[in-house]
Structure 1
C-alpha cells in the first residue's frame, strides 16, 4: 500500500512537471508563430461540382444514356478547342473569375486576420470583370474589430472589383456593417439581418465589497478616463457620459451604413431591430433573396469559381497536441470580455 501511495505521488509530480513544460513551450510557440508565413489554399469549386454531378450520373443513369452524355461532352470540348485555335489569342475573352471567401465572425472579429491576407492575395491578380463573393456569418461584436473588417472589404470596392456578400444565417450589428459595404447583398429567406445599434454592459459588485468592508481605490488622470467600473462606486455623471459615448458610436454606425446604402431610411431601420431575409428585402437591407449555394451554382457554367483560404501557421502547441491551453485562453478571454466594459456593434 505504501508503495502504491509513493508511486501515485511520483506520477502526480511527473504530470505536474509535464504540464509546466508544455505550458512554457506553448508560450514560446505563440511568440514565434507570428513570424512564420502562412499558406494560401486555392480550390476550384467548379471541379468539385462537376465531380459530384458525374458521380450521380454514373450511379443513376442508364449506360446508354451515360455514353451519349460522355460523347456529347467530348464533342463540345473538341469544338471549343477548334474555336480557340481559329481565334487569335488577342481576341480571346478571358473567363470571369468568382473568388469566394468565408467569414465566420466571433465577438472579436478574429477572422479578419485571415481575411485581410486573402483579400491582399486576390487583389494582386483580380481584374475588373471578376467578382469577390464573401459568405458572411456574424452576430456582431466589438466596434474596432468589425470596423477593421468592414475597412478590409472596402479595399475590394476601391479596387473597382465587384463585391457580393452572401448571408445564409445571420449578419447582424457589426456583421451588417460589413455586409453593407457590398455592391450586392444576397440573403437566404430566413437569414437574420439588421440590428443597427450599439450595446454595452458591465457588472458592478461595489455593494457586495462594501458589505465585506473591502475598499477599492481607482486613480485616474482625466475627467472621463474611467466612467463606469466593476469594483468602484459608479456615479450619475459617469453613467451619463457612458450613455453619451454609446449614442456617439451609434451615430457613427448610422452614418457609415447610410454612406454605403443611401437607399435605406436609416432612422426607421437603425432601431436595433432585426429582419428575416424576405422582410429585409422589403426594407432595402438586401438586394436579392437567395442562398449562397444557389448563387454560386448559377455561375459555374460561365465563370471559374475559386475558393481562397489563408491558413495561419500552426504553433508548436498545436503540433505537440497542447491545444488545450489555447482553448482555455480563448474561453477566458471570451468570459472576461462579457464581464468587462466593452462597447460593441
Structure 2
C-alpha cells in the first residue's frame, strides 16, 4: 500500500508538471500569434559601397607595410578633405536635397524553385523599394531559376512589371540560369546581364505525368472519376486517357506556349521569337547573338561598377521564425521544402547542355 501511495504521489506530480508545461507553451504560442499579426518579418538593408570599402581596408592593412599604411592614411585624409569641399560646393549650387542626392541602386535576389516560392519575399521587397525609389534610380534583380509552375512565374513576372510601370530602370543579372519561367521573368528587364556560361532560354512549355491505369487493371482496381463540365479534367494519372483528352491537353500546352512567346516578343521586340521559342537553351556568350540578353558579365562586376556613380543597397525581406520552427517542430515545413528541392533539382537538370 505504501508503494502504491508513493507511486500515486509521483504520478500526480508528473501530471501536474505536464499540465503546467502545456499551459506555459500555450501561453507562449498565444503571445507569438499576437506578435505575428503585427509584424511577420523585417527588411535587412546593407550598403554595398561600404562593404567594398571595408573589404579593401582590411586587405590593405593585411598586405601593406607600416610605411605604406602611413602613406595610405595620409592620402585618405587628403581625399576626404577634397570630398568634403565638393559636397559643400554641391550643396551651395543645389540647395534642394532631392537634386543633390546621388543615384540609388537597389539590389534584390530571386532564387527560384519549381513553385517560385521566393516571390512572396520579392513582392515585399519591391513594395518597400517603390515607396522610396525615384525615376533616376535603378533596381537590380540577381535572378537564378530553371523555371517551374506557369502561374507562379507569371506572378513573379508581374511583380517585376511593377518596377517598369513606375518608370524605374530594371536590370536583371543572371550568373547561372534563367530558363523557362526564369526567362519569363528576366525578359521584363530593360537590360539583361548574363555570365558567359549562364544558361538562358528554354522558351517552351512541358508537362509530364505517369499513368497507372494498366497497373490498376492488372489488380482489378476500379477508378471512377466524376466531373461536371466537358473539360473539367482532361488527362489523369489513374484513369485511361482518351485521344480526345490528350488532344485537349496538348492544345492547352500550345496555347500557353503562344502566350509565353507573345510575352517575350512584347518585352524584347528585337528577338526573332520563332527562332528562339523552340524550348532550346543557350549559354550567355551565345544568347547575346540571339538578342536574348544585352551584355555578357557577372553580377559582381556590374554592381562594383555601379558603386562608382551610385549608392548601392541590397534589400532583403526576412520572415520571423515561428515558435514551432524555433522549437524544432517544423517537420512538415521541412518535408515540403525537401520535396520542393528534389523537384527543383530535377527541373534544373532538364535545363542543361551537359
- Pair in the same fold by TM > 0.5: yes
Provide the rounded CA distance (Å) in 2 between the counterparts of 1:52 and 1:335: 36
2:186 is equivalent to residue 182 of structure 1: no
> 2:352 corresponds to which residue?
none
2:169 is equivalent to residue 166 of structure 1: no
Conserved 8 A contact 2:113-2:341: no
Pick from 223, 246, 262: which aligns with 1:255?
262
User: TM-score normalised to the size of structure 1?
Assistant: 0.86
2:95 is equivalent to residue 90 of structure 1: yes
Conserved 8 A contact 2:114-2:343: no
Secondary structure of the 2:157 match is helix
Pick from 215, 219, 234: which aligns with 1:212?
219
Pairing 1:68-217 to 2, within 5 Å after superposition: 68-86=71-89, 87-88=91-92, 89-90=94-95, 93-217=100-224
Deviations 1:153-190 (A, max 9, x none): 00000111100000000000000010000000000000
Structure number with greater Rg is: 2
Provide the rounded CA distance (Å) in 1 between the counterparts of 2:158 and 2:219: 48
Conserved 8 A contact 2:108-2:141: yes
The verdict on how the C-alpha distance between 1:49 and 1:338 changes in structure 2, with shifts beyond 3 A counting, is closer
Provide the rounded CA distance (Å) in 2 between the counterparts of 1:272 and 1:332: 25
Pairing 1:1-345 to 2, within 5 Å after superposition: 35=37, 36-86=39-89, 87-88=91-92, 89-90=94-95, 93-332=100-339
Give the superposition deviation at 1:312: 1.4
Deviations 1:120-167 (A, max 9, x none): 000100111111000000000001100000000000001111000000
The higher-RCO structure (CA 8 Å, 6+ apart) is 1
Conserved 8 A contact 1:189-1:278: yes
Deviations 1:8-51 (A, max 9, x none): xxxxxxxxx9xxx9xx99xx899989744310000011111111
Secondary structure of the 2:288 match is helix
- Consecutive unaligned residues of structure 1, counting only runs of 5 or more, are 1-16, 340-345
Deviations 1:30-86 (A, max 9, x none): 998974431000001111111111111111122222222221221121122233334
Conserved 8 A contact 1:139-1:170: yes
Deviates more, 1:85-94 or 1:180-189: 85-94
Q: Give every structure 1 segment of 4 or more consecutive aligned residues whose post-TM-superposition deviation is greater than 6 Å.
A: 28-34, 333-339
Give the alignment's Cα RMSD to 1 decimal: 2.5
Provide the rounded CA distance (Å) in 1 between the counterparts of 2:223 and 2:33: 34
Provide the rounded CA distance (Å) in 2 between the counterparts of 1:171 and 1:217: 41
> 1:3 corresponds to which residue?
none
Provide the rounded CA distance (Å) in 1 between the counterparts of 2:288 and 2:61: 40
Give the superposition deviation at 1:337: 10
Secondary structure of the 2:306 match is coil
Deviates more, 1:271-280 or 1:327-336: 327-336
Give the superposition deviation at 1:301: 2.3
The verdict on how the C-alpha distance between 1:234 and 1:109 changes in structure 2, with shifts beyond 3 A counting, is same
Secondary structure of the 2:110 match is strand
Give the superposition deviation at 1:318: 0.9
Deviates more, 1:202-211 or 1:60-69: 60-69
Provide the rounded CA distance (Å) in 2 between the counterparts of 1:279 and 1:239: 36
Conserved 8 A contact 1:33-1:315: no
User: TM-score normalised to the size of structure 2?
Assistant: 0.84
